[in-house]
Amino acid sequence: MRFPLEISSKLPKQGASIFTTMSALANQHNALNLSQGFPNFPCPPELIEYVHEAMLAGQNQYAPMAGVPVLREKLAEKTRELYGATYDAEKEITVVPGGTMGIYAAITALVREGDEVVIIEPAYDSYVPAIELNGGRPIRIELSYPDFRIDWNEFKKVINFRTRMIILNSPHNPTGTLLDAEGIKQLARIVDGNDIIILSDEVYEHIVFDGLPHESMAKYPELAKRSLIVSSFGKTYHTTGWKLGYVVGPEKLMREFRKVYQFMAFSAHTPSQYAYARILDNKALYHELAAFYQHKRDLFADALKSSRFEVLPCKGSYFQLLKYDKISDMKDTDFAKELTVKYQIASIPISVFYLSRRDEHILRFCFAKDDETLLKAAEILCKI
Ligand code: PMP
Ligand code: GLN
């Protein structure tokens, strides 16, 4: 008997993500992969020893749902030192299997049917599906072009009684721009006196250049009281494949977050949590990360001086935008494919981060690569 399994998809238009697509194309064509954001160099070797030691010491069973206490204590200390904010390790910090799950759990816990969630485009690809699967409505604001700044007047116009959440991301993927002190002031004015929750994606918090500060929501008590802040160990310790991150926020929000998270993963990988707790004592590692990546940003940009690509400003994250309008008028998705297939260099087209598929002929290149790879990539790009 035929069984008519007809599935009405919950995400009918969703295909494989651009990161999956471009990384697969890069592998298929043996291209330098500057598309998906991940380092091609090793993590600190002691971090691997710490995981191994935790495993040998028998730390191989479920961690407490919110994370191992020693790690949460260290994160509370770090947040206090860096941003002057006091979070209770017991009630206000939760360790999760990666920033992506932190974002998903936060949206699932707090966005209700019909709620509006303001997102800023170009937007990281995981926000909209998470909002829609929870019955929320994404309300899109575009960063101004070409400087990729938030137009706060436009922002203000979309806020109304249905606005439940604002999702912010600084340092910003894919543009490399930062929220600055003036932006914080504008944001504070907009949310003042209402119940809007801020979901602040700060996974690149330590990758900020030219001495500029990272404006964490944690620094501003009026914003921190309504914010869940997401960070990721993968970005800080070159371990994107370990999928571990954490979320901090006031008890009221964290209580709701945990109600949902406990049924998503329940808890995160135990030995890695002990390892990160130990490596957090070496504060130089996260303090020096900005200089480490600034060197790479500058090396890549310098090596591109003679190319026909325009190097756009990058203030944070490990992504460099290159504009190619002097080279081609092809669609960015087609141009990215052509570069991968014909020139063996893979990147990410920016139009996919807009619902409107706005195409300014810009590609994103990840510079979390060893210097040799960056020079090789620049050499290829200079020939195009
Ligand atoms: N937000 C942004 C802006 C990112 O670039 C990433 C990296 N993939 C994430 C969230 C998710 O982080 P994780 O890899 O820890 O899930
Ligand atoms: N955050 C990474 C990027 O922007 C990709 C992570 C993923 O593949 N989901 O490239």
- What percent of the chain shows pLDDT beyond 70? 99
Q: What is the pLDDT, as a whole number, of residue 70?
A: 98
Average pLDDT over residues 266-284: 98
Task: Indicate whether residue 245 lines ligand 1 (CB < 6 A).
Answer: yes
The per-residue pLDDT for range 96-114, each reduced to its tens digit, is 999 999 999 999 999 999 9
Q: pLDDT band for 261, please (50, 70, 90 cuts).
A: very high
DSSP, collapsed to helix, strand or coil, labels residue 73 as helix
Q: pLDDT band for 4, please (50, 70, 90 cuts).
A: confident
| pLDDT of 2 over the 70 cut | no
Q: pLDDT band for 143, please (50, 70, 90 cuts).
A: very high
Report which protein residue has its CA nearest ligand 1's atom 12. Answer: 99
What is the identity of the amino acid at 29?
Answer: H
Q: What is the pLDDT, as a whole number, of residue 1?
A: 60
Q: What is the pLDDT, as a whole number, of residue 5?
A: 83
Contacts of 77 (CB under 8 A, 6+ apart): none
What are the sequence ranges of the domains in the chain? 18-43+287-382, 45-282
| pLDDT of 116 over the 70 cut | yes
Report which protein residue has its CA nearest ligand 2's atom 3. Answer: 37
Task: Indicate whether residue 234 lines ligand 1 (CB < 6 A).
Answer: yes
Average pLDDT over residues 299-328: 98
Mutating to test ligand 1, I would choose from 17, 23, 204, 232 the residue with most ligand atoms within 8 A of its C-beta, which is 232
Average pLDDT over residues 91-99: 98
More confident of the two residues 66 and 3: 66
What is the identity of the amino acid at 343?
Answer: Y
List phi, psi (to 5°) of 189. Answer: -65, -40
Q: Ligand 1: distance of its center to the CA of 99 in Å?
A: 5
Q: Which atom from ligand 1 is nearest to the alpha carbon of 19?
A: 8
Return the H-helix or E-strand segment holding 49: helix 45-56
Q: What is the pLDDT, as a whole number, of residue 6?
A: 86
More confident of the two residues 213 and 7: 213
**Ligand 2: residues within 6 Å at CB?**
17, 19, 36-37, 173
DSSP, collapsed to helix, strand or coil, labels residue 6 as coil
Q: Which atom from ligand 2 is nearest to the alpha carbon of 37?
A: 10
Task: Indicate whether residue 203 lines ligand 1 (CB < 6 A).
Answer: yes
Report which protein residue has its CA nearest ligand 2's atom 8. Answer: 19
| pLDDT of 55 over the 90 cut | yes
The per-residue pLDDT for range 166-198, each reduced to its tens digit, is 999 999 999 999 999 999 999 999 999 999 999
Please tell me the total number of residues recorded for the chain in this structure: 384
Q: Ligand 2: distance of its center to the CA of 197 in Å?
A: 25
Looking at the CA of 20, name the nearest ligand: 2
Looking at the CA of 101, name the nearest ligand: 1
CATH topology of domain 18-43+287-382: Aspartate Aminotransferase, domain 1 (3.90.1150)
Tell me if 165 sits within 8 A of 111, measured CB to CB: yes
Least confident of 8-12, 96-100, 374-378: 8-12
Is the peptide bond preceding residue 122 cis, with omega within 30 degrees of 0? yes
**Structure tokens belonging to residue 101:** 């799950």
Q: Alpha carbon 145 to chain centroid distance?
A: 21
> What mean pLDDT, rounded, does the chain reach?
97
Tell me if 86 sits within 8 A of 80, measured CB to CB: yes
The 8-class DSSP code of residue 351 comes to G
The pTM of this model reads 0.98
User: CA separation (Å) from 180 to 173, 183, 315?
Assistant: 15, 5, 11
Q: Ligand 2: distance of its center to the CA of 28 in Å?
A: 19
CATH value of 45-282 in 3.40.640.10, 1.10.357.140, 3.40.30.10, 3.40.190.10:
3.40.640.10
| pLDDT of 304 over the 70 cut | yes
The per-residue pLDDT for range 15-33, each reduced to its tens digit, is 999 999 999 999 999 999 9
